[in-house]
Amino acid sequence: MANDQSIRSVLDTARKEAERIVEKARNAAQAKLKAAEESIAAETERRVQAACRAIDEECARQLSKARGAQGKALLEARNRRLKDVVAAARQLALADAAGYEKLMARLLEEAAAGDVAGQVIAHEADRALFRKLVDALNAKRPTAAKLSLAEATLPARGGFIFRATAYDVDRTLDTLLADRERVMAPELAKALFT
């Protein structure tokens, strides 16, 4: 009986030790499993964040590219429209003979201000008008400050060039309208893009 009790005692001790070893192994396995799960979750999160950043960057790049293309198209359309407006203004100025004469008279008087002698260069089709304007101005000017109509002519109708000894004043419609277009372009861009 004592032997049976010794055997039972040894078996109980061995069972307890085995249960303790199994519990320790189970805890170690669970800890490794938990660490592996956390590592996988962290790596997955890192990859998801990297993929999200890549997608955000690509979307931002495509959006910027689309905005640039849209802005360019809008700018081109605006420039075409502005050129159409300038061309129409040129045609309107030439179509109204009385208004054109009045405008050229004012511009010639401004260009030849200060009693400076000089020549007026105009297009062949405008020579009769400018002869009349030069004669009218010369009637009010001293002899030393008389204007004359140059033999040279402009290639395009609309406006004139006043040539004094020291300088030229370009008052052609093309130049006047181009100057106005340069002034209007930033104003239109501001209105369109703000």
**pLDDT tens digits for 58-81?**
989 999 999 888 878 877 887 788
pLDDT score at 155:
94
In the block, residue with structure tokens 């990859």: 47
Domains of the chain, by residue range, sit at 1-69, 96-193
pLDDT score at 164:
93
pLDDT score at 194:
64
pLDDT score at 192:
65
pLDDT score at 138:
93
Give me the residues of the chain with pLDDT under 70, please.
1-2, 192-194
**Cβ neighbours for 39, distance < 8 A, ≥ 6 positions apart:** none
Taking every pair of Cα atoms in the chain, the longest distance, rounded to a whole number of angstroms, is 156
Which CATH class name applies to 96-193?
Answer: alpha beta
The neighbour count for residue 172, using CB atoms within 10 Å, is 20
Beta-ladder partners of 148: 119
The helix (H) or strand (E) run that includes residue 149 is strand 147-154
Helix, strand, or coil (residue 168): strand
pLDDT score at 78:
78
Rg, Å, the chain Cα set:
46
